[in-house]
Structure 1
Amino acid sequence: MQFLADAGMAPINWRKSMQSQRSFQKTNQGSLFLVPTPIGNLQDMTYRAVQVLKDVDLIAAEDTRNTQKLLNHFEIETKQISFHEHNTVQRIPQLIEKLEDGISIAQVSDAGMPSISDPGKELVAKCVEKGITVVPLPGANAGLTGLIASGIVPQPFYFHGFLDRKNNLQLEELQKLTVHKETLIFYEAPHRLKKTLENMVSVFGGEHQAVLARELTKKYEEFLRGTLDELNDWAHNDQVRGEFVIIVAGFEQTNPQTDSTKDLPVNEQIDRLIEDGMTVNGAIKQVAKQQGLNRQEVYRQYHEI
């Protein structure tokens, strides 16, 4: 499990035999409840979510100060403990010990669904490994909320979340996504939106259809529907505020940008991708895959080995 390795933890030792969980069967252990929180509008909190937060023994919150505002609004007095991306390694063993001792815990992120571009997945994985009951609650999710009102075909869809912050790695990510026929869903912060849209225009093509969903469920909720060129122009000529969901239409069999270069010599195709910001090895891998060639042969040809 890559996410555990990234967090400095050992990969999950999955059980050899199938595991069955009956979520509401009584045991001597506590249960982990995954509780979605509103993405902007407090009225989106469900009755069940409020009740669970009142009933559990402890709330593991991404930001206890932010969650306290939610708890105060709904008159919830349950004690909190911080659980975020920077304390995952040391906090998980503590939470697991509490669960094994019979303490029930609700895990929340600052907004939306735990584990979806937010903390939670490592704790869930460790609970599954230990046979601790994990109970998910339905609730608000920015990606799906934006998708269903985008006007772009809603399914099948591919949820990517946040792109890499490093420009060359982001370009590589986007290039790999051009093989997807599914509608693509991304998250982006306001201060990175302009560069991300520039890169999408570069890789996906300016005429590609997309939607920006801004400040979902809040007072200034806004949908901007058009081509990537149009959305990019808007971002560079207006004040970019609020959190964004980017919905991008899926692709046909081949990427339109690729069609214009596919008949060029292999080395020229690689050079074009490098000029667009990809690494040399990334470009070699991409061209080899597109042309159905052996990657090592393409590598040797490009480097004249």
Structure 2
Amino acid sequence: MTRETGLRARAVLAGEISPAPVRDAATVVLLRPARAGVEVYMLRRATSMDFAAGAYVFPGGSVDPRDADQSVAWAGPAPETWGRVFGADAATARGLVCAAVRETFEESGVLLAGPSPDTVVADTTGDDWEADREALIERRLSLAEFLNKRGLVLRADLLRPWAHWITPDVEHKRFDTRFFVAAMPPGQRTRDVGGEADEVAWLSPDGALRQARDGEIRLLLPTVRTLTELSVFADVPSVLACDREIVTIQPRAAEVEGEMWLVMPDGHDGVS
């Protein structure tokens, strides 16, 4: 925990300031086969960002109110089904799934959508795709408008639920984030799209964790937990077939011998 966050944590715990409001968000762990297991797509957030600056993260971000637009053509589990999995109402669940698809496209160029309920776009690298991607980022175009213009169906069936994390009360920006996993669609490829990230990489879960232990990269607690969970899988199909029980995790701040730590609710180690 940084000195600034530690000071804020003490103030929140003392009741001197109120916790920041929580925003719904979605994160997608993109997977591809590797010689030994799987690799995940990660972005290093630019050091100029005011949240998780310099950390390696998965694609994701806040839900746009327009993400819940019911005009989106939809294939796969209904929003009500996602809501039961994530403990949310149908409108919130629709927004989370749509945000997952939108943010993945914005931050990696990968689009989990296709011309029909059983197909997926094969290539998203042209100038016209890039123009639409930038329009989505700048909120000049909603996901529904983007998909409808191109006659595309959102492929909710390509996503799998993985986790649910809520940012600790002591952080200055807070998110109620649902984690998804998804395999790279055949034919598509990720690309360094810039913006909030200044570097991208495909990393094995073990490799990313090792780099973090060696001080080469910075990882947030939910990212460490997710990478640790993924490290035991032999291949991408095994990850997608995993039947996950989604339990909400919200680390809390605690002072131990004069130092502030984030402590996991289930007794796992925290991070200072």
TM score, norm. by length of structure 1: 0.23
Indicate the structure (1 or 2) with the bigger Cα radius of gyration: 1
Q: Which has the higher helix share?
A: 1
TM score, norm. by length of structure 2: 0.25
Q: Which has the higher strand share?
A: 2
